[in-house]
Structure 1
Amino acid sequence: MEGGLETELSPLASPAERRTAFRIFHRLPFRLETRKSPSKPLTDELCNEEEHNKTTETVDDEKFEADNDDESRNGQRKEEAQLNGQLVERTDILECAWHRRQEEADDAELQAALESEEEQERKVALGTGSASASQADLGEKIDIYGNVSKRAPNDFEHISTFTLLSVYFSWMMLLLFAYLREILKRIGIEDDKSNKERPELKNFTPLFSDFESLYQRNCYIRVRDVFERPIASVPGATVDIIDRISYDGNWTYVHPGSKTNVINIGSYNYLGFAQSSGPCAEAAAESIDREGVAMCTTVHERGRSVSQHRLEKLVAEFLGVEDAICFSMGFATNSMNAPCLVDKHSLIISDQFNHASLILGCRLSGASTKVFKHNDMKSLEKILRDAIAYGNPKTHRPYKKILIIVEGIYSMEGSICNLPGIIALKKKYKAYLYLDEAHSIGAMGKSGRGMVEYWGCNPKDVDILMGTFTKSFGSSGGYIAGSKVSFELFRKSYLIFSARNQPPASEFSHRLLQQSDVPSNRTANLHFHEYHYGQRRHY
């Protein structure tokens, strides 16, 4: 096939164009079927046919055959010219091959849909009942953990048009009155209690933009009493807050000296482990007597502590992977490890709503970054397909590595990533996957192993598993987990110059992951998270 295509391309394309077209063409995960060139010259074949026709057929038959041969040759030449043009213009051949494959996939889906409808009609005719038919529509699938999956991606994220318009209208009215109050403050009708800029600093660069200042003075200040509440206790299931009173519209506060015990729903302490008593807190206190509060050195100088080494082994065992590395800061786990995975010859495909730490890591890596729509598999596949087909638009060379970065649970939206769909695209286009489970680890899955367990996926299908101990585990720091071979790269990178994880935090997390003394209320919280998201995602 390769030799035939090259022979057809040579009359219409230069050697450089042929190499460019074939270099892109051979990297496709599929091949375009073409008709090979005839092995014999067309003139010899026509002569043989004419001699044979003269001896075996009549004149009318010869004329009929000649007309058919002319038509077939003309059609073949048109096909060859069209194919040659497509090979020269690589965009045309990629689109042609892709549309052809899409048509075949659509035909297969249509055939499967017709067969399923016929099967359902047959079941109804046999009297199997509507319950079994509805159960089949759920698409039940038993995962590797033995759980039954009935989840529909992004089913809970759609909102009605009325709700959308109501929210937009409320924001428009809020901003409209904010600008109106700014006008009243400038003309002196309303008292302005905000900080004033000194005259000698008037020509300096402003610290905030005009809109940020407007929003803070007129919108945020009205609900400031809900935020920034000073805490006077351990941030457990309940917390003591210091009472305060404002007489000037939340510009200033007066503290009467009393406290109020309230339910804590404003922290990342999902399972309630951040307490001053219990087996985890006692283990952390004992580690202070053995190893101190901090090691006061880098990994390069004195290596890892015993508690950190035990914690890394337990994290890898807990997640079902080969190796893990623990860090002293969750934000830096994302922002500093991305440059170790990719370089300027790589491509990062990031979700639209990824965390700020992931965005900073993408910028520090120096790699090309493209953003796909939130949880949109079609948008992700289009970017993957274009990246493989066209390569780097600056250098016109193929990317050496493609890394997909997503979150398990998106902290600001509360949505869940479509992990099975992302893994399928990752395998299809031979990309790498980085999964941030900062908010999902410990809080999702029947045993708290995050979105991988929740979806019933194989942990080895995710190249880099990232998580933090500051959320569900009630400690501090973060981790990354994956294969042992790839993690040798991390251990020889900037990690040797970083501070080691604090022994009390490592011991606290290690004691928690052992799960030997986990109270029943923690397990109930975990099951509540599983049930809550499961109900929102069922058909």
Structure 2
Amino acid sequence: MVGSPLPSPMALTNRSPTSSIFKKKSAASLVPKTAADYLSALSEADARRLKATAPTATPALSLSSSVTTNSEDSVLRENDGYDSAAAGLELPLRPPTSEQVFTTVHSEFGHCARDEFRFVSQHVPGTPLTHVTREPPYYIVISTFLSYLILICIGHMRDFLGKYFHPSRYRHLMPSDGYAPLNSDFDSFYTRRLKQRMDECFGQPVTGVAGRTIMLLDRQSSDYNATQYFTGTRTRALNISSYNYLGFAQASGGCADAVEESLRRYGVSSAGSRLEGGATDLHAQAEGLVARFVGQEDALLSSMGFATNAAYIPALVNKGCLVVSDELNHASIRFGVRLSGADVRMFPHNDMHALENLLREAISQGQPKTHRPWKKILLIVEGIYSMEGTFADLPRIMELKKKYKFYLWVDEAHSIGAVGPHGRGVADYFGIVPGEIDVLMGTLSKSFGAAGGYVAGRKALIDRLRVRGYLGAYGEAMAPPVLMQIISSMASIMGIAPSASTMSTAPEDAYAYTGPAPTALVPSWLTLHPTLASGVEGRTRLRRIAFNARYLHFGLNRLGFITYGVPSSPIVPLLLFNPGKMVVFHRMMKAYKTPIVVVVVTYPACALMTARVRFCVSAAHTKEDIDAVLRACDEIGDVLDLKHGVRGAERWSIDDVCARAAELAGVQQIEA
């Protein structure tokens, strides 16, 4: 990456089924035998691409919820450069029968009516929450260390020589007019010398809906990604990288129609903060519905998920308080704790024995120097850890909570709506009464296809946060269309009560919150399709994502890959380790016969040695989509030497994995 950049794969997107670099005489040889063969073919494709002329059409930036078939064809399929319909991205490969009626656009939410590809996301009582981490072979560890060492050494050498031979290019690294350089630390070096060389893997510009498929605007670079330019072509790819867990990010359908109606009634903005004229009746209804959904007395919405943690944690703890945090907690949690001024202590990820020891010591010793008792102790964990795909051991945490009397804050950004038999997050998944958790925080930009975040808890607590939190006085109130997306999608999961018989917003028993949404918490003018209003489609989406997550997780394991996380998590990390494999894996997935867009993750989002590709599964994906991902990983994994997990008889062929998908998804645990 420090030397010459790898050839760009963008030329591969403007192709037909007969001009792919994977064109071979038989289906068994769709991928080059070696990485060198692949890169050679990639260079030839780049040379052909540079001779092509850019089209004059302007890519569409958005789509109306009332897009017709003809207009969609002209907007979305223009300049694809290959038959994406034949690849199953826009039209199902298996046409629906006369009895099957689908209300979604296949490119946004895949058509899948087979009941065997459904699963209920629920923890089996009595079984421990275990996560077996497989270690790679020693030669992989050594080669990864050497790769980073070479990259760092060459990068520092180029910086040193560049200051003398090309001072104009390195002006930002040298003192000027008495001022110190603004960017001269390791983060700056890492960004310029490592991350920049693989920038095509990040921040990819798209147009249209980030649903089951996504339309990429192709780009290239001739200066090591210092600048990039659009080629004028586009690529429709299978989207396995977005947080669209339940597939509600749609431009058409019942939720989109409700949002369109809210635009006519409320406009596009609240035009103020909640405490200064920005509150509407939609805010009150949405907060009541969120509280009902998560099983708490009251809830508070904010217009930004990151700011929810950053602004409301300081409103609960301050100097003299102790925050106990998992070492892998999100940056928003770390930022909020720093703003609060409270003491913070971390424990190893999901290590409940270490957590108990830390609590014992903290309670017995008290505050530093004075040894006075802590004003309060707040434990902060995440429901699902976004880079690991692991669950918080909530049953064990609840046992410690009763024993040591601390407060508990659970960040359910990636778990709310995505796991649990009713989609209510980790408390629902483990069968724990949500009212026993002091603070439930979550985001609305993932499972619900909206934006912003929420904090839910007892009414007295939420009333305090409305006044003491920064966002109440200074944050812009959530826009009405976003609120309508939250209400409509959440009501689609819960179902809407046929009458006003259930008006209470506080659950009276353990699982009262799993009932339908009271009509008082839904706008009177909202009319959803019967399948949405009854909750049938919402339950189907929950079961589809549960199957897809387990199938992809167990399928990758059986193919021999090293993965992190638990099977029920919609986040499935696949370990790559070597930095050079990240960009090549990304390019080869996008250049596959069915283009697949993935997100690779490296430092600082994860440890330097554990670079990975993070698959984000959605209910919008069909079983055939997961088949395509597994087949691509199987072929590319052989080329890049990525299969370091199970071996021998435990490893299955790709045909066995695809044929026995329902069996795989039903497996409770796969042996190490």
Q: Which range, TM-score by smaller chain? A: 0.5 to 0.7
Is 1:170 aligned to 2:190, yes or no?
no
Q: 1:239 to 1:492 in 2, by over 3 A?
A: same
Letter in 1 for 2:331: A
1:88-487 equivalences in 2 (<5 Å): 148-149=124-125, 151-156=127-132, 158-160=133-135, 162=137, 166-167=140-141, 169-180=143-154, 182-183=156-157, 186-187=160-161, 195-197=169-171, 201=176, 203-302=178-277, 304-487=279-462
Aligned match of 2:629: none
Q: Tell me, what secondary structure is at the counterpart of 1:386? A: helix
Contact 2:298–2:462 at 8 Å: present in 1 too?
A: yes
Distance 1:357 1:287 in 2: 31
The offset of 1:437, in angstroms, is 0.3
Distance 2:122 2:385 in 1: 26
Q: Tell me, what secondary structure is at the counterpart of 2:293? A: helix
Distance 1:310 1:178 in 2: 54
Q: Tell me the percent identity.
A: 41
Q: Tell me, what secondary structure is at the counterpart of 2:291? A: helix
Letter in 2 for 1:286: E
Aligned match of 2:477: 500
Contact 1:231–1:239 at 8 Å: present in 2 too?
A: yes
Letter in 1 for 2:548: F
The offset of 1:537, in angstroms, is 5.8
The offset of 1:538, in angstroms, is 6.8
Q: Which runs of 4+ in 1 moved over 6 A?
A: 190-194
Distance 1:230 1:192 in 2: 32
Q: CA RMSD in A?
A: 2.9
Contact 2:151–2:194 at 8 Å: present in 1 too?
A: no
Q: Tell me, what secondary structure is at the counterpart of 1:467? A: strand
Q: Tell me, what secondary structure is at the counterpart of 2:282? A: helix
Q: Tell me, what secondary structure is at the counterpart of 2:300? A: strand
Letter in 2 for 1:470: S
Distance 2:390 2:165 in 1: 42
Among residues 479, 503, 510, which one is paired with 2:487 in the alignment?
510
Q: 1:168 to 1:385 in 2, by over 3 A?
A: farther
Q: Tell me, what secondary structure is at the counterpart of 1:410? A: coil
Between structure 1 and structure 2, the one with the greater Rg is 1
Q: Tell me, what secondary structure is at the counterpart of 1:244? A: strand
Distance 1:504 1:275 in 2: 14
Distance 1:255 1:176 in 2: 32
Q: Structure 1: state its 5+ residue gaps.
A: 1-144
Contact 1:154–1:537 at 8 Å: present in 2 too?
A: no
Is 1:490 aligned to 2:465, yes or no?
yes
Q: Tell me, what secondary structure is at the counterpart of 1:449? A: coil
Contact 1:150–1:538 at 8 Å: present in 2 too?
A: no
Distance 1:310 1:442 in 2: 19
The offset of 1:250, in angstroms, is 3.3
Distance 2:341 2:300 in 1: 23
Q: 1:195 to 1:303 in 2, by over 3 A?
A: same
Distance 2:543 2:481 in 1: 24
Deviations 1:330-377 (A, max 9, x none): 111111111221221211101101111101111111211111111111
- Larger RCO: 1 or 2 (CA < 8 Å, sep 6+): 2
Task: Report the TM-score, using the length of structure 1 for normalisation.
Answer: 0.67
Is 1:528 aligned to 2:559, yes or no?
no
Task: Report the TM-score, using the length of structure 2 for normalisation.
Answer: 0.54
Contact 2:302–2:454 at 8 Å: present in 1 too?
A: yes
Q: Tell me, what secondary structure is at the counterpart of 1:424? A: helix
1:36-55 equivalences in 2 (<5 Å): none
Q: Structure 2: state its 5+ residue gaps.
A: 1-120, 496-531, 554-566, 569-666
